[in-house]
Chains A and B, each alone.
Chain A
């Protein structure tokens, strides 16, 4: 007949060995679980080579660092060049396969900036944020020319492309923009392309009604929404510019400056842009 073996009493050694030590080890191991991070990427300039490059660096950082569980884009931009906008757009689409991306429109997400916003999972604006402006703007190249001291191997080496072709190029770019908005917003979009392609800037409230953005609220709400989508809590908000080791944004003469030093809303060089250029014309 077997009798139960009486348990050995917990003495100090046993407690140390079976409770304290595993607890310490457990706590130590738990510290290996990182605090989730919501990365913040700010865009408060036009989208051009420098700013787009910085955004892409931060997006790649977010994708490659597991502790970054979501990204919030804080946008205040009139848009920029078509190619740089498309580059940022493509990188966001790639990041969204693993992490949610939320756009918060601080002041303006017009044209290319809205193109970028449309690629995110959720767009939050402020009631009076300037949103939309879906379209492309082009300054036609000059007529083909030749110069006495410059030799080229083709008629468009100096100007890039024929004026008529340039006009048609922007129609193709516009179609890409429209598709990006329609695909990004999906069923949430409540207006047709007739309205979208008017290239209008809408205030945040109107944009919500049209399904162009999802809601109007605060920046905190953007982080909450990001956390909710990423299913995280007690997160840390990290500026990805600093985290990715980028220097302060360098100034680049993207906008045309007059000889008197006045900055205009026009790009420095002609080309194709997804850019909102507020009229400088003084109304009567």
Chain B
């Protein structure tokens, strides 16, 4: 009996415990058999393939050192880079004898482009003015090289991104497209990426499809672009991304061009800039690509046209005087003026009696001397009719001086000034935009013919017959070893006027036909009152301008 009571007591004791336990707990938690976490130690950092230094190639750089091609780098459009980032490119440009210079805020782009061989625009965020676009296109037409680099990582500043300033972001691609679209190339507002095959990051795409026949992309097996725009081009594709690369615009894979060229290879568009900066230019064959780009920019000087006036000379220049001729005081004054002006352009001017190897040539003569200049004038196909020869012309006043100036140092091997010396010299500040107003030109020519006196006629191809009175001709001839510039006018005053164009640095009041410029100068009737070229004023002259 007691035992059963004990059982009951035990039951009564346990019941609430069991009841409460069952009230709350319906079983035991069974944790997962394994709770796996990442094996962090097995994860390794992706390592880049460092390119090995390449051997110096042939003697190309040594040849180029003579050329001293000038590479203009744009900094006038709020470009998103620092010049230190360009150091690898600068180094390579220097290797090819080129001189890299930054755009000058004190000069118009049109003026600056006349003196350079290549122009690099990199990540601009300020639009180009219409005048600048025109100047660039004319520069390319004149043989200048244009490299336009956009970079999706430099479409806007970090500050702009953080604080929502989209002003620059919205324009950056449009800005560069304004430069390259006329050449059949368009930067796409995207970036390329590859999640599977990349260099450490999805946006660093590996490239192995290069146009082996183009100088820009030769000797490159593999390169890396560190964030690149794609391009749409109807022109020549230089570098193509692999078909596993995706565009951020569509998230679709495709073979996207990332570098292209146009205008016989003179205009190049690149979708990335970072690859040419330190340390990324050392990865894979980026170093070779930077070198090729430097060679593209600085390997050769471009041919000059008269539109590049006064930057027409590539080397020291000879001021031609006829052998055994007497140098007049006026001619000496002209020489002196030209010498000091050209010194500002870093061109040394010396007297020469004949074309000399290693020298460009500058000829300043009156129309009456045309027979002595036949060799120089031959390329221009000018016809002189009834132009009084020297003997017939009125004797020039002025004290004659026997040429006592010694023949210049004609050693073609004489080194030209160093880039530093050149940089330290100032260039003249020429007036802006050259005149191409057809109305002015025709009215000038009509007046010129109406006022024709008995001074004969000069037939200029493309422009017809002109009276020599009141006009000056500037003729430019570029040959393989020499550039020749000829200044012709009716008298000494007119020649001084013509010479003064060097000081203004612009042929803004001249009409052009090919490499011939026809400029208004003092007429015979005005010569007495305007013998000093400094006081010459087109608005006061009767030239028809």
Q: Determine the residue in chain A with the shortest Cβ distance to B283.
A: A164
Q: Is A243 an interface residue (CB 8 A)?
A: no
Q: Say yes or no: B20 contacts A180, CB within 8 Å.
A: no
Chain A residues positioned under 8 Å from B37 (CB to CB): 89-90, 93, 119, 180, 183
Contact A258 to B163, CB < 8 A, known contacts A23-B12, A168-B46, A180-B37: yes
Interface string of A249-282 (1 = CB under 8 A from B): 0000000101000001010000000000001111
Contact of A22 with B40 in the complex, beta carbons under 8 Å:
no
A231 adjacent to B27 (CB under 8 Å): yes
Partner of B46, one of A7, A171, A258: A171
List A contacts of B54 (CB < 8 A): none
In the complex, per-residue mask of A1-42: 1 if CB is within 8 Å of any chain B CB, else 0: 000010110000010011101110111011101111000000
Q: Interface-forming stretch among B28-36, B303-311, B425-433, B473-481?
A: B28-36
Chain A residues closer than 8 Å to B49, beta-carbon distance? none
Bits for B1-16, please: 1 = Cβ < 8 Å to A, else 0: 1001110111111111
Q: Which residues of B contact A168 (CB under 8 A)?
A: 45-47, 200
| Interchain CB contact under 8 A, A96 and B31 | yes
Whether a CB of chain B sits under 8 angstroms from the CB of A242 is no
Which one of B17, B36, B44 contacts A183 once the chains associate, using CB atoms below 8 Å?
A: B36
Q: Does A191 contact B (CB under 8 A)?
A: no
Which residue on B lies nearest to A20, using beta carbons? B12
Task: Give the contacts of B369-388 with A (CB-CB under 8 A).
Answer: none
CA distance A19 to B5 in the complex (A): 9
Residues 197 to 213 of chain A near chain B (Cβ within 8 Å): 197-198
Q: How far is the CA of A7 from the CA of B31 in the complex (A)?
A: 52
Interface flag for A146 (CB, 8 Å): no
**A180 touching B26, Cβ below 8 Å:** no
Q: Give the shortest distance, in Å, between B243 (CB) and chain A (any CB).
A: 15
Chain B interface, >50% SS class: loop
Residue among B29, B200, B201 making CB contact with A231, cutoff 8 Å: B29
* Alpha-carbon distance A69/B30, docked complex (angstroms): 12
Chain B residues near A246 (CB, 8 Å)?
A: none
Which A residues touch B279, using CB under 8 A? 163-164
For window 244-270 of B, CB contacts with A under 8 Å fall at 251
- The answer, among B40, B162, B251, for a CB contact under 8 Å with A266, is B162
Q: Which residue of A lies closest to B20 (CB)?
A: A30
Q: What is the bound-complex CA distance between A179 and B27, given in angstroms?
A: 32
Interface contact B12-A7, CB-CB below 8 Å: no
A121, CB-defined interface residue at 8 Å: yes
Q: Indicate if B105 sits at the interface (CB-CB under 8 A).
A: no
**Nearest-neighbor residue (CB-CB) of B279 within chain A:** A164
Cβ contact within 8 Å between B12 and A171: no
CB distance from A242 to the nearest CB of B (A): 21
Does the CB pair A19–B163 fall under 8 Å?
no
Tell me whether A244 is interfacial, beta carbon within 8 Å: no
Given the known interface contacts A7-B1, A171-B45, A231-B26, the answer about A264 and B163 at a Cβ–Cβ threshold of 8 Å is yes
B357 to chain A, nearest CB (A): 49
Q: Which residues of A contact B39 (CB under 8 A)?
A: 179
Query: Of the candidates B6, B17, B25, which one forms a contact with A232 in the assembled complex, judged by CB atoms under 8 Å apart?
Result: B25
Chain B residue contacts of A78, Cβ below 8 A = none
CB distance from A253 to the nearest CB of B (A): 16
Residues of B within 8 A of A93 (CB): 35, 37
CA distance A14 to B19 in the complex (A): 24
Contact count band on B = 35 or more
Asked if residues A233 and B23 are in contact (CB atoms below 8 Å), the reply is yes
A230 at the interface (CB under 8 A from B): yes
Is B45 in contact with A231, judged by CB distance below 8 angstroms? no
Is B31 in contact with A98, judged by CB distance below 8 angstroms?
A: yes
* A229 interface residue (CB < 8 Å to B): yes
Residues of B within 8 A of A230 (CB): 29
Cα separation A193 to B264 with both chains bound (whole Å)? 44
Q: Which residues of A contact B513 (CB under 8 A)?
A: none
Contact A96 B162 (CB under 8 A): no
B14 contacts A26, C-beta separation under 8 Å: yes
A125: Cβ under 8 A from any B Cβ? no
Residues of chain A with a CB closer than 8 A to B27's CB: 231
Q: How far is the CA of A25 from the CA of B10 in the complex (A)?
A: 10
Q: Is A284 an interface residue (CB 8 A)?
A: yes
Chain A residue with minimal CB distance to B21? A33
User: A238 interface residue, CB < 8 Å from B?
Assistant: no
B90: Cβ under 8 A from any A Cβ: no
Taken residue by residue from 31 to 65, chain B's Cβ proximity to chain A (1 for < 8 Å, 0 otherwise) reads as 11001111110011111100000000000000000
On chain B, the residues within 8 Å of A5 by CB distance are: 1
Shortest B83–chain A CB gap in Å is 14
Contacts of A197 in B (CB 8 A): 195, 202
Mask, B171-196, CB within 8 Å of A = 1, is 00000000000000000000000011
Q: Which single residue of chain A is at the shortest CB-CB distance from B170?
A: A284
Most buried by A among B6, B16, B162, B163: B16
Docked CA distance A122–B267 (Å): 58
Report whether B16 and A231 are in contact in the complex, using a CB–CB cutoff of 8 Å. no
Chosen A-B contacts, 21 in total, with CB atoms closer than 8 Å, are A8-B1, A19-B9, A29-B17, A30-B19, A33-B24, A93-B35, A93-B37, A96-B31, A97-B35, A98-B31, A100-B29, A167-B201, A170-B201, A180-B38, A198-B195, A264-B162, A279-B161, A280-B162, A281-B156, A281-B161, A282-B166
Q: 14 additional contacts, CB 8 Å, given A172-B44, A197-B202?
A: A22-B13, A26-B13, A29-B17, A33-B17, A33-B20, A34-B24, A69-B29, A171-B201, A179-B39, A231-B29, A233-B23, A233-B25, A280-B163, A280-B164
Cβ-closest 8 pairs across A and B: A179-B38, A231-B27, A22-B13, A30-B20, A26-B13, A280-B164, A30-B16, A26-B16
